[in-house]
Structure 1
Amino acid sequence: MNDETLARTALLQSSSDAATRVFSTILTRSPISRIDVARLTGLSQAAVTKAVAPLVAAGLVNDSRDPTLTGLPGRPVSPVAVVPDAVVAIGVKVNADELIGVATDLTTRTIASERVPLTSHEPAHVVDAIVELCGRLRATIGDLGARLAAVGIAVSGDVDSETGVVRDSALMGWRGVALGTELAERLHQPVVVENDVRALTIGEHWFGVGLGTGSFAIVTIGRGIGSGLHLNGEVVEGAYGVAGEIGHLPLTSPDHTCACGRRGCVEAVAATSAIVEAVQAAHGRPVSIDEAVALGRAGDPAAVSAFAEAGHVIGAAIASLVNLVGPELVIIGGEGVANFDLLETALRESYAEHVFASADRARIVVRPHTFEDWARGAAAAAIRSLVV
């Protein structure tokens, strides 16, 4: 991190609440007029102008002197816009078998991406692999590497984002891993460790479909069933770092054991591994998820039943979520969306059966997410840590 980047991050982290609101608004909606910044933040135009001045001086915001029309005759304005490459972030998604990393600008536009295989889940090995991945990304982006301000790591499970400790990750077999501290010492950068679905929610909140939406939920389907919540303009983190764990709602038979060790969890029948196990048991031989999908689309009874059961319990879980918090929008994402055609009918029928009264006005949108999108969510979490 060069002196210029240090000064920029120091300015962001020392800003008043008003200045933070101003910069966050410009960051997520630029280019934008000062009038609209004032309207969205509830601040006076004078307060907005005062907050913008040091941001311009630091090179974080561009103050355009070329007026553009607002649409009203005689009302030209000079928009302000974030300088995207003023600061760079790295985001890393930790998967069971590989790491996916991206280097992004302030708006989470991907500048470079890299992947590194994981041959062990031992924390020391994973730390080494993340350091290697970050090194590759810095080499790829060249001179922009001097503007790296923070690194975000997205991990499945119970993560304490305040301390950077992964308290429990069934996917990685971790308990009490101080990932943030170890990486900060190795990378010599601020490191933010976040639950992967919550990181994805932060990315959608600031730069995706959640922008401008008062409340939304993300439900991810695939290796796990997760949920992130954005309510009243804020991403919900929970008092103890846990919120929205719909994959572990006890909505199915206790005959099914979840990877977390509990019985009856949604994931016990709806996670990719559970679907594969059901199809394998019916056919008496090993089956990959790709073959299970092909069998389902070909009408194989066991595969059709396994996907339908998964869709049914996910639909009930989404209805429970909607009944509890009443979001405007539910985004269904994750790698499992590629197979959504096999889940959709049962999911929507179950959702309609269980959702309460006017809560069913929540829109359900299917949005495919690549693993690079998850890594961008980690980068968004890193950028957010600099700003708020």
Structure 2
Amino acid sequence: MSPRRPPITTQASTAVFTQVLTQGPVSRVDLARRTGLSSAAITKAARPFLDAGYLEELEAGERTAPGAGRPASPLVVRADREFFVGVKITTEDLIGVVGDLRTQIRASAHHQLAAGDVEHVVGALAELVDELLARSPEYRERTHVMGVAVSGDVDRATGTVRYSPFLGWRDVPLAELLAEATGLKVVLENDVKALTVAEQWFGEGVGLSSFALVTVGTGIGCGLVIGGNLVAGAHGVAGELGHLAVAAEPACHCGGTGCVEAIASTDAIVARARLVTGSPALSMEQAVTGARGGDPLLRGVFDRAGHAIGLGLTAVANLVGPERIVVSGEGLAAYDLFEPQIRETFARQAFGAAADCALIIRPLPFEEWARGAASVAVQSLFSGHAH
């Protein structure tokens, strides 16, 4: 198979390939209608992708009516034409996947981290990549780019982790280090933004002009898509819902007070539960069990967290006006305890028609974080932001 990568060099080629990638199979007639391009422009844009093996034509369908003309031959992405590695870095382990062009997971692996320093993580990640690519000769041959997702302040353009509070990293040129260690081009992105890209292209956000993804768990994150584009902000930290102040206290690790994350993250809930019950060894699992069993003190902890999350979601709805908000993250395991307060607060605080914004609950296996990283690797076909 030719090693040539797709020539995505014009707005027309970007529009055509994106439509087929995210919503195919799709006919040239539908492509013209959706993109506003002429039939000749569609044919010209599609031809290099067909020649390079990234698109193929399905067999022509039946005519819809007598005299309706030549039946359409829909275009579809050849998902196995290229593969992409995606890795999510946590404080405890690495979650890695090999995904195809539609980021369907073909292989996955977990590696526990013995240490959290940069040198160890880079070495362990290189081993994980080698293990994944060894699963098939096709992966070795057709994988050129790796996406890496990290929590915190990430500069995608330079491939730098500017600040990751959970990892304790500052100003780490991670993309460059990983490119040297693996031989792959590397795209680095904040983990929530990477997950948002996956939802935009292959999940709840397909076909939407605007939506928000909010993750609940170790941290409280938010990715925003407005006008079809992922919002990074002038300094790359747009969507930091977790550090929206919704109360006068408690103190947050970011240096602020009353942040959503300081009230509703897993650590914050555990700390509050231990305080109100006087049980210094209480775990999250025990807090959830007690709250579900009707313990009024523990129910109050989750009500408080749900209220804070609800205020955060309301702020997103009021400020941005998205078509929907997708709520996800590992914290969904306790979502039944959050939900009444989230929905009550949202209904009360959302302004006018913003209250009509749909809240979609989306379970999130940890492999989905790595799939998000693979999605930003696929994006490198369009943006060139790979190191």
Q: TM-score, normalised by structure 1?
A: 0.95
1:121-136 equivalences under 5 Å are 121-136=116-131
C-alpha separation between the residues in 1 aligned to 2:64 and 2:152? 48
Deviations 1:277-297 (A, max 9, x none): 111222322122111111111
Deviations 1:67-123 (A, max 9, x none): 114755535201111100001001111111111111000000000000001122211
1:78-117 equivalences under 5 Å are 78-117=73-112
- Counterpart of 1:162 (choices 135, 157, 165) is 157
C-alpha separation between the residues in 1 aligned to 2:255 and 2:288? 26
Match of 2:170 in 1: 175
Q: Tell me by how many angstroms 1:150 deviates.
A: 0.7
**3-state secondary structure, aligned to 1:331:** strand
Contact 1:278 1:302 in 2 (8 A): no
Alignment pair present for 1:385 and 2:380 = yes
2:251 maps to a residue whose letter is T
Match of 2:225 in 1: 230
C-alpha separation between the residues in 1 aligned to 2:158 and 2:377? 14
- Counterpart of 1:63 (choices 57, 62, 68) is 57
Contact 1:335 1:369 in 2 (8 A): yes
1:10-49 equivalences under 5 Å are 11-12=7-8, 15-49=9-43
Q: Tell me by how many angstroms 1:21 deviates.
A: 1.2
Cα gap change, 1:84/1:285 in structure 2, threshold over 3 Å: closer, same or farther? same
C-alpha separation between the residues in 1 aligned to 2:287 and 2:135? 38
Structure 2, unmatched stretches of 5+, are: none
2:22 maps to a residue whose letter is T
Match of 2:192 in 1: 197
**3-state secondary structure, aligned to 1:140:** coil
1:8 maps to a residue whose letter is R
Most deviating of 17-26 and 192-201: 17-26
Q: Tell me by how many angstroms 1:8 deviates.
A: 1.3
Cα gap change, 1:142/1:301 in structure 2, threshold over 3 Å: closer, same or farther? farther
C-alpha separation between the residues in 1 aligned to 2:115 and 2:109? 19
1:305-344 equivalences under 5 Å are 305-344=300-339
Q: Percent identity over the alignment? A: 44
1:228-377 equivalences under 5 Å are 228-254=223-249, 256-281=250-275, 282-377=277-372
Q: Tell me by how many angstroms 1:143 deviates.
A: 2.7
Alignment pair present for 1:216 and 2:214 = no
1:354 maps to a residue whose letter is Q
Contact 1:111 1:141 in 2 (8 A): no
C-alpha separation between the residues in 1 aligned to 2:90 and 2:139? 27
Cα gap change, 1:119/1:258 in structure 2, threshold over 3 Å: closer, same or farther? farther
Count residues with an aligned counterpart. 380
**3-state secondary structure, aligned to 2:109:** strand
Cα gap change, 1:213/1:69 in structure 2, threshold over 3 Å: closer, same or farther? farther
Match of 1:50 in 2: 44
Match of 1:4 in 2: 2
2:238 maps to a residue whose letter is A
**3-state secondary structure, aligned to 2:136:** helix
1:90 maps to a residue whose letter is V
C-alpha separation between the residues in 2 aligned to 1:353 and 1:37? 42
Match of 2:180 in 1: 185
Contact 1:217 1:327 in 2 (8 A): yes
2:161 maps to a residue whose letter is V
Q: Tell me by how many angstroms 1:379 deviates.
A: 0.3
Contact 1:93 1:196 in 2 (8 A): yes
**3-state secondary structure, aligned to 1:379:** helix
C-alpha separation between the residues in 2 aligned to 1:71 and 1:131? 53
Deviations 1:253-311 (A, max 9, x none): 23x12122322111101000010111122232212211111111111222211111100
Q: Tell me by how many angstroms 1:386 deviates.
A: 1.3
**3-state secondary structure, aligned to 1:8:** coil
2:244 maps to a residue whose letter is L
- Aligned-residue Cα RMSD (Å) equals 1.4
C-alpha separation between the residues in 2 aligned to 1:309 and 1:17? 47
1:365 maps to a residue whose letter is I
C-alpha separation between the residues in 2 aligned to 1:272 and 1:101? 24
Structure 1, unmatched stretches of 5+, are: none
Q: TM-score, normalised by structure 2?
A: 0.95
C-alpha separation between the residues in 2 aligned to 1:71 and 1:328? 34
C-alpha separation between the residues in 1 aligned to 2:233 and 2:161? 15
**3-state secondary structure, aligned to 1:77:** coil
**3-state secondary structure, aligned to 2:134:** helix
